[in-house]
Amino acid sequence: MSSEFSIPTPDDWHLHLRDGELLNTTVAATAAVFERAVIMPNLVPPVVTVEQALAYRERILAVLPKSMSFTPLMMLFLSPQTTVDEVKAVADNPHMLGFKMYPSGATTNSDSGVSRVEAMYPLFEAMQEHDVPLLVHGEVTDGEIDIFDREAVFIERHLRPISEAFPRLRLVLEHITTAQAADFVEQAHARVAATITPQHLLMNRNDLLVGGIRPHNYCLPILKRREHQLRLQQAALSGNPKFFLGTDSAPHARDKKEAPCGCAGCYSAPAALPLYAEFFASHDALDKLADFASHFGADFYGIARNSSHITLQKNAWQVPASITTAVGPITPYWANEALSWQVQGGKQG
């Protein structure tokens, strides 16, 4: 195995930057490595109009270091108030990518999300007509459904019917966690894809619960059994272009994670690409990293691949224990743990 290799600059197809003073930390952490990122709209209040998304985009670009190039791809939060006209507005704006559907109460800042999926069908029809992608947090939120089964139930109850009813809709099941999700994506039509996070490739629920509760490994959808982890690993290693990188990096101040009701989310951005490299290298598959990180997502969305490159070097380092931010210290994902690969020198043209 070579001690150094380059890949085309990757893109992060699922990212939380938050807002306000925290942008000073989160934007640079991603822009140092990724050329583009899909920016999640679950702010408080959520981003529900193109006007709001463009204002958010300007706030992101305002804190981008002058030495870095970075393109935020903006999303709208799908809500019961979303209109067909707003779908058309997204289609007409080059800075917009699509809509994110959160079931109401499924994750952080999603209470105003969708409670009746079938009521959204006229909007899905408009998205299909205007080729506006729909990105989905795929979990039901019924109290009687076990939290470890919520993704599988959502697929059968909602996602499979959506994919069958709208075969031309560009549909992404975000941060997949189960064998059922990987199977569904593989078997669905060509316009269905999925993102996979580093935590779901590198961990399973033992890493959350064995030896005490580990709040900084807590995310939603929650880590699943090892058998599901192995199925996701198989999907990422398969070379199937339906599976690509999406970190779901989600920063929360330490006191919000280490709390009686701790926030869900892993802040992986400071080590995202080395984390994926660690996974692929551990399976003797570094030759597959470029497709997964740099090619398949752009191809799925019909966006040109990046022409710049980034270099990783085999050089052991330790992820910091803490990151100082305007909202207080944040414990990054993989804190205090070693990684074998390190980004060298930033993006190269």
SS3 342: strand
Spatial distance between the Cα atoms of 247 and 36, rounded to a whole number of angstroms? 12
Separation between Cα atoms, residue 63 and residue 65, nearest integer Å: 6
Place of tokens 């994750």: 107
CA–CA separation, 176 and 224 (whole Å): 10
Distance separating alpha carbons of residues 182 and 164, to the nearest angstrom: 17
Taking only Cα atoms into account, the Rg of the chain, rounded to an integer number of angstroms, comes to 19
Task: Give the pair of three-digit tokens for residue 8.
Answer: 């085309």
231 is in an annotated binding site: no
Backbone angles phi, psi at 331, to 5 degrees: -90, 115
Whether residue 223 is annotated as binding a ligand: the answer is: no
Distance of alpha carbon 113 from alpha carbon 123, whole angstroms? 14
In DSSP notation, 60-100 reads HHHTS-TT---EEEEEEE--TT--HHHHHHHHH-TTEEEEE
Residue pair 312/274 in contact (Cβ under 8 Å)? The answer is yes
State yes or no: 220 annotated in a binding site.
Answer: yes
Cis peptide before 241 (omega within 30 of 0): no
* Residue 142 known to be catalytic: no
- The answer to whether 35 touches 69, Cβ cutoff 8 Å, is yes
Query: What number of CA atoms fall less than 13 Å from residue 339's CA on the CB side?
Result: 26
Q: Is 256 exposed, middle or buried (0-12, 13-18, 19+ CB in 10 A)?
A: middle
- Cα–Cα nearest to 349, from 153, 106, 116, 69: 69
252 among the known binding-site residues?
Answer: yes
Is 18 marked as a binding-site residue?
A: yes
Instruction: Tell whether 295 is in a known binding site.
Output: no
Whether residue 100 is annotated as binding a ligand: the answer is yes
Q: Which of 11, 12, 248, 291 is catalytic?
A: 248
Pick out the residues of the known binding site for substrate: 16-18, 42, 137, 220, 252, 264
Binding-site positions for Zn(2+) read 14, 16, 100, 137, 175, 248
- Residues contributing to the annotated binding site: 14, 16-18, 42, 100, 137, 175, 220, 248, 252, 264
Active-site annotation, residues:
248
